[in-house]
Chain A
Amino acid sequence: MGKEAATENQPVAALSYSQTDTWLQTTPRYGMILSMNGLIAVIISLLIPPGFVYLIRKLDLHGTGKFHYNVTAILWGMIACLVAALLHSRLIEAGMSRGQIIREVAPISEEILKALVLFYLVRRADFNYVVDGAIYGFGAGIGFAMIETISYVVSTPEFAIGLALDRVFSANLIHATTSGIVGSTLAAAHFERGSKRVLFSVLGLTIAMGLHMGFNFMVTSDTSLLLAIVAGFVGIGCIAIIIKQSLNIQRHWISEMLGMTDRVTLGEAAVVQRIQNMDEVLAPIARQFGPDKASKTEALIYLQAEIGIKRKIAKQTADENKRAAIEMEIQRLAAKMNTLRREIGPYCMLFVRSVYLTRTSKLWDVLDARVGAADTAHAGSGLWSALSRRIKRPNPRRQQASNHDLVGKLKETFLFRDLPEDALEAIAQKIAVRKLSKGDVLMRKGENGDSVFMLYRGSVNIVTTDSLGRELVINNCGPGETIGEMALLDEAPRSATAIALVNSEALELKQDDFHALLNQRPDLALGMIQGLSSRLRFSTTYIEKTVEWSQKIADGDYSIVEDTPTIPTHSGTDEDKAITLLSAFFQMVKRVKAREDVLKKQVEKLTFEIDQARRKRDFKEITGTEFFTRIKAQAKHLREQRMQDND
């Protein structure tokens, strides 16, 4: 392993690499660590190299590398160094020369040993791409070199500091570079198939071994120290270039894969694309929504980048088991993303999405045109542009008389809970509280709706009637949910009836007041859109379920109807809710099926009756003839004859 050694009679500054290596023959003097020089040298050897890892990690814009794998790689590098030392001392005992080991054996054995941890890491489902491979490889090389440097330092206490310094900037970086190359090629190979895969891996290892060998030749041939250090920095530059290139590839992947499958909107994807300008995104968020939301937004953006990269990787992975593992990982990340998004809240999310949606996107223009054409918003054309401008500026504070009780209640409604206090106070002034006893009708289908309700307490069934006048529960609302908001946007009559299932309490807001509020606070409209879109999502789930179940019923599979509860609940996911509501309808289907089964059983038994009198009469008619008597006798005779023949 020892590549270079200090000749004891040379001054530190002129220290050069020479072949007169004394390291393996010299007994390590661990006591030197206690001296000032020794201590400084060890500190240099241990602190600066991880700094390089930190720098390289900073290059990983998408933040896909995992810190604990960095640590794993470094620790393995250290172990690899000890194993290499053991191996090489055995070879020396076996009679191999030191020069041979340094120039021929070490480049091969050390590269392979360092790479072992990389072989393991690239196979993991949470491993991403070349960037990860390069960084982990870099770490493994650094770990290796740290131990190697210390072993040199304790063996040559006289030049401890100088030796530590020059190794840290030369041999250390070369070790990190070669392993970084191995890591990135192994990562790239992992996404190839068959012979290409082997070729990539072998090529990476060969390049690493070649570079290592070249460096060892150089330093054992009276090269100046400066050249070795230059080589080290060229190495780290190479790794940086590899990482930059892979980041570009990943950026394309992210834009390609971050689609609606993960419910990442165009706006969010655009933000992720600008990940290198993260501060630009985060600064206004921190200003408007506080540092907590900003840091969560940052985490969200990194998460989305990783999901995009993972999707692409999953797509490129041929092995099914491995792909399944990656899909699982994506699901885990997606769940994490949704949690983060909820924590960030709709208003801040809308802000994030709009950061890069200004003039480049047509969304606001489209909304402007639509709203203007429909002429349903009192604010008229330009509302949406005004909206997008408004939410980018801090809102002017308005002091309003407050109704604390109502503000508290409004904070529990999905429609208004994310609004700032002053907005809630403004709304509270317009709110009327409606107390409902069980069975009370909150609104009736067909009525002209001029208000929106927010359920504060209890439970309300949204009911419609079929052509025979029978009630069909289409939804159930619990505390916090909004009822009748459609009436605020269109002028059409109520589309359904709302009946209190238990004693309930609702907050009522009149249409006129709502529109007046919208003029003052356009950001409320964004909350409305959010609420409507979640209702739309529920409708989509509902329709999906209906189609799925109808298909099953058509195939004669009634099992779905068997166990589903009929009593509506407002807990659980959209899907649970849809199932509960649909089950009422499919219970009807089940009853139809039961009735049909009974009918079927009736036809299955054949009814027949034989007229026994006629049967006797017909029989006598046939058998009573002379012909019949003759033929019977003849047949009897014939049979007897055949019996004899056969005997």
Chain B
Amino acid sequence: MNKGKIVSIHSFRGGTGKSNITADLAAQAALAGKRVGVVDADIQSPGIHALFGLDENKMGRTLNDFLYGKCGIREAACAVGELGADSTGRTKLAGKSLWFVPSSIRGQEISRVLRDGYDFNKLNEGLQTIIKELDLDFLFIDTHPGLNEETLLCMAISDILIVILRPDSQDLQGTAVTVDVARSLDVPKLILLVNKALPKFDREDIKARFEAEFQAPVAGVMPLTFDLAENASRDLFSLTQPDHEWSLALSDLAKTVMGME
């Protein structure tokens, strides 16, 4: 089976660069000619929409609307390639098959989710539907950090799980548990990705030791970079600065993901 792979991007704690990596990964896959969907499943603290150039005004239907039965999932999907380019990076996505399902950024709607919760089966059904309707090759899910219930669901239904961590002890401890849980959920493919590694660290050393510790492949050790911080989630960094060290590492990761059977 090559069609409709679900790739969840997860990290135990926030601030690992998860949204950036998810958006750039999806963009790279779309650039490579794949049909790609991105779902912002971080309903409690959405963020990835900014990278695709959406704000409250531009945002139409959202995942929240779908979960509460206000629309079909297809209606909540926004074609990024047709949005009309408004930045250097996103210009390159014009005409590409990339759809994005945002989470609502309205305070009211977020608090409703937190208060009432939602039907996990509905989310699951939505994901399956959008894959079929848009004939997707890949569906990337930006998950909420930690190991709450909706995240566990996303993990459970993933074909590929990418766990992002920073080389620090808190991330390591949480990632160890995440990896154990993912294994318990029989996730077929599990990849680790180290981000924000300080330049002074020996990256080969980190990769080797993490692989030994977690018994899982480390797809890359990406550097901490001020350039990316400066980007401040305004644009897709791997598209604006394709020759940057970080972008090259991300592009390698994209190839790894796309090459996975």
Q: Within B177-207, which residues are at the interface with A (CB < 8 Å)?
A: 177, 180-181, 184-186, 200-202, 205-206
Residues on the A chain within 8 Å of B206, using CB: 606
How many Å from the CB of A635 to the closest CB on chain B? 3
Measured in the bound complex, the distance between the Cα atoms of B167 and A603 in whole Å is 13
Residue A618 at the chain B interface, CB threshold 8 Å: yes
Residue A632 at the chain B interface, CB threshold 8 Å: yes
Measured in the bound complex, the distance between the Cα atoms of B155 and A628 in whole Å is 11
Residue B249 at the chain A interface, CB threshold 8 Å: no
Secondary structure dominating the interface of B:
helix
Residue B169 at the chain A interface, CB threshold 8 Å: yes
- Interface size of B as a range: 20 to 34
Residue B176 at the chain A interface, CB threshold 8 Å: yes
A634 B156 Cβ-Cβ under 8 A: yes
Residues on the A chain within 8 Å of B168, using CB: 608
A614 touches which of B157, B173, B181 (Cβ 8 Å): B173
Residues on the B chain within 8 Å of A627, using CB: 149, 152
Residues on the B chain within 8 Å of A598, using CB: none
A606 B180 Cβ-Cβ under 8 A: no
A619 B1 Cβ-Cβ under 8 A: no
Residues on the B chain within 8 Å of A230, using CB: none
B200 A603 Cβ-Cβ under 8 A: yes
Residues on the A chain within 8 Å of B3, using CB: 646
Given contacts A606-B201, A611-B173, contact A623 B156 (CB under 8 A): no
Residues on the B chain within 8 Å of A614, using CB: 173
B157 touches which of A604, A605, A635 (Cβ 8 Å): A635
Residues on the A chain within 8 Å of B157, using CB: 635, 638-639
B173 A610 Cβ-Cβ under 8 A: yes
Measured in the bound complex, the distance between the Cα atoms of B209 and A618 in whole Å is 22
Residue B94 at the chain A interface, CB threshold 8 Å: no
Given contacts A631-B120, A632-B156, contact A600 B1 (CB under 8 A): no
B169 A608 Cβ-Cβ under 8 A: yes
Residues on the A chain within 8 Å of B172, using CB: 608, 610
Residues on the B chain within 8 Å of A611, using CB: 173
Residue A643 at the chain B interface, CB threshold 8 Å: yes
How many Å from the CB of A622 to the closest CB on chain B? 6
Secondary structure dominating the interface of A:
helix
How many Å from the CB of A191 to the closest CB on chain B? 48
A635 B156 Cβ-Cβ under 8 A: yes
Residues on the B chain within 8 Å of A623, using CB: 181, 184
Residues on the B chain within 8 Å of A405, using CB: none
How many Å from the CB of A637 to the closest CB on chain B? 10
Closest residue on chain B to residue A603 by CB atoms: B200
How many Å from the CB of A514 to the closest CB on chain B? 61
Given contacts A628-B152, A635-B186, contact A615 B169 (CB under 8 A): no
How many Å from the CB of B50 to the closest CB on chain A? 30
Residues on the A chain within 8 Å of B184, using CB: 619, 623, 632
- Give the residue among A606, A615, A618 with the most B Cβ atoms within 10 A: A606
B177 A615 Cβ-Cβ under 8 A: yes
With A634-B124, A643-B1 given, name 12 new contacts (CB 8 A). Answer: A606-B201, A615-B180, A618-B177, A619-B177, A622-B147, A631-B156, A632-B184, A635-B153, A639-B157, A642-B128, A646-B1, A646-B3
Chain B residues close to A by CB (< 8 Å): 1, 3-4, 120-121, 124, 128, 147, 149, 152-153, 156-157, 167-169, 172-173, 176-177, 180-181, 184-186, 200-202, 205-206, 209, 213
| 11 contacts across the A-B interface (CB closer than 8 A) | A606-B167, A606-B206, A608-B172, A615-B176, A622-B152, A622-B181, A631-B120, A631-B149, A635-B185, A636-B186, A642-B1
Chain A residues close to B by CB (< 8 Å): 600, 603-606, 608-611, 614-615, 618-619, 622-623, 627-628, 631-632, 634-636, 638-639, 642-643, 646
